[in-house]
Amino acid sequence: MNTLFNNTLVDTAEHQPLLRDSVGKLAARYGRRYFQEVTKAKGKPVALWNELGKAGFLGVHVPEAHGGSGAGLADYQIVVEEVAAQGCPILSLVINSIVVPIIDQHGTEAMKRDWLPGLADGSRRLAFAITEPDAGTNTHKITTTARRTAGGWTLKGTKYWTSALDEADAVMVVARGETTDAKGRAALSLFIVPADAPGISRTPIETALHVPETQFMVFFDDVSLPAEALIGVEGQGLKQVFAGLNPERVCAAAINNGIARFALERAAIYARERKVFDVPIGAHQGIAHPLAKAYAAVQQARLMTARAAQLSDLGSQEAGEAANLAKFAAADASLEALDQAIQVHGGNGLAIEYGLADLWFVARLHKTAPVSREMILNFVAQHSLGLPKSY
């Protein structure tokens, strides 16, 4: 168990130190080497996932009535961070943070009963598909279309970068309706689509990430859906999806905060032990100061992440800005921490054995996804600084 980081600065509730400790101890029994080996073997961290589910950690943000502990995102982001801080950055934990609040806030009672208990104990999984090859960040331009039929809907279109579809029972899909408004924008709706529904096919996308999750291009070729597949209200999908997008940003930040902690803990140990010119390398300010600076940035990112989660749980209007700032800060802070940790390790920083270099691209991912740093800066410029919309 690593303990370097001061959690008192970032925790916002009395029970959180115990939660951190319990999750951290569970994940530490698996640790970085386990995660590397599973990933190398193209497997999945099933044992770790199942144990997290059995212990109730996957459902800390799921309401008690549906099998969780009802504590919210403030606790869930701690789970995500602690697992990553043991060298296990599980992207599927971030997907869970999107789909749970969307179903909880907008699903029917039947849909909640169907999905939430399984998402809480880890026995069921949902992937999430909004991104499309041609629309990119501009969600208004998505072309995956849901057409009304006598019995429900027919879905047609293509998504890409859908993570972990091979591990999921179903995928939550953002689709457009058939009609558009005066600006050519179609109203969006959300659907739950079984991963093995007739008409779905998928192609894996090869990436540089060393993670167990595979990303897919997904084709929906006239997939028939029953009326109950619709989440919430037809045409309200854009509004509804935000119940999940802010938590997703917070949990992306939490993963990076965990990666940064893992890297800095390893770097501090190495800098204390490694001697090149008689004294430990950490005695040189050229080594110590960049690590201290990285620590400061990581603590600031963790604080922003905890605050964003708290605001999200309170249903605050400010949760959007806070979630964006948290993800922005955590992406930069973790890359600085990781880069410095690699540097401190000399040549060993590039060796897989030390568990750092192969974290680079999963940390780097969150500069681009789930929302790019440019789109965050666009948001801040427009909404926080009152500048004209630039796009």
Site for ligand FAD (CB under 6 A): which residue of 136, 151, 204, 226?
136
User: Phi/psi of residue 45, each to 5°?
Assistant: -80, 60
The residue (of 156 and 373) whose beta carbon lies closer to ligand FAD is: 373
Of the candidate spans 41-49, 55-63, 103-111, 128-136, the one that interacts with ligand FAD by CB under 6 A turns out to be 128-136
139 is a contact residue toward ligand FAD (CB under 6 A): no
Q: Select from 190, 188, 212 the least CA-distant residue to 129.
A: 190
CA distance 352 to 98: 31
Site for ligand FAD (CB under 6 A): which residue of 6, 137, 180, 384?
137
142 is a contact residue toward ligand FAD (CB under 6 A): no
# chain residues binding ligand FAD, by CB under 6 A: 22
Minimum distance between the CB of residue 98 and ligand FAD, rounded to whole angstroms? 8
Structure-token match 């041609």, residue found = 134
Distance between start and end Cα atoms, the chain: 47
256 is a contact residue toward ligand FAD (CB under 6 A): no
CA distance 210 to 72: 29
Q: Cα angle at 51 between 355 and 269, to 5 degrees?
A: 30
Q: Which two three-digit tokens encode residue 129? A: 């598909």
Of the candidate spans 161-169, 285-293, 299-307, 318-326, the one that interacts with ligand FAD by CB under 6 A turns out to be 161-169
DSSP notation for 221-243:
EEEEEEGGGEESSTTBHHHHHHH
Show contacts with ligand FAD in window 334-373 (CB under 6 A): 365, 368-372
Q: What single letter denotes the amino acid at residue 138?
A: N
129 is a contact residue toward ligand FAD (CB under 6 A): yes
Minimum distance between the CB of residue 137 and ligand FAD, rounded to whole angstroms? 3
CB 19 within 8 A of CB 83: no
The residue (of 61 and 125) whose beta carbon lies closer to ligand FAD is: 125
Site for ligand FAD (CB under 6 A): which residue of 36, 162, 189, 214?
162
The residue (of 209 and 263) whose beta carbon lies closer to ligand FAD is: 209
Minimum distance between the CB of residue 365 and ligand FAD, rounded to whole angstroms? 5
The residue (of 98 and 268) whose beta carbon lies closer to ligand FAD is: 98
CA distance 283 to 289: 10
Minimum distance between the CB of residue 173 and ligand FAD, rounded to whole angstroms? 9
Q: How far is CA 369 from CA 58, 148, 226, in A?
A: 22, 32, 31
CA distance 187 to 111: 22
Q: Indicate the DSSP class of residue 292.
A: H
Q: Which two three-digit tokens encode residue 194? A: 């079984």
The residue (of 225 and 371) whose beta carbon lies closer to ligand FAD is: 371
Site for ligand FAD (CB under 6 A): which residue of 100, 209, 281, 356?
209
The residue (of 156 and 364) whose beta carbon lies closer to ligand FAD is: 364
163 is a contact residue toward ligand FAD (CB under 6 A): yes
Show contacts with ligand FAD in window 177-196 (CB under 6 A): none
Site for ligand FAD (CB under 6 A): which residue of 23, 130, 225, 329?
130
Residue sitting closest to ligand FAD (CB): 136
201 is a contact residue toward ligand FAD (CB under 6 A): no
Minimum distance between the CB of residue 243 and ligand FAD, rounded to whole angstroms? 15
CB 233 within 8 A of CB 249: no
Of the candidate spans 57-65, 141-149, 159-167, 195-203, the one that interacts with ligand FAD by CB under 6 A turns out to be 159-167
CA distance 342 to 140: 41
CA 314 to chain centre: 20
Residues 6+ apart with CB under 8 A from 220: 144, 155, 156, 157, 158, 159, 173, 193, 199, 200
Q: Which two three-digit tokens encode residue 178? A: 């058939």
Which residues are near ligand FAD by CB under 6 A?
A: 128-131, 136-137, 161-163, 207, 209, 215, 365, 368-372, 374-375, 378, 391
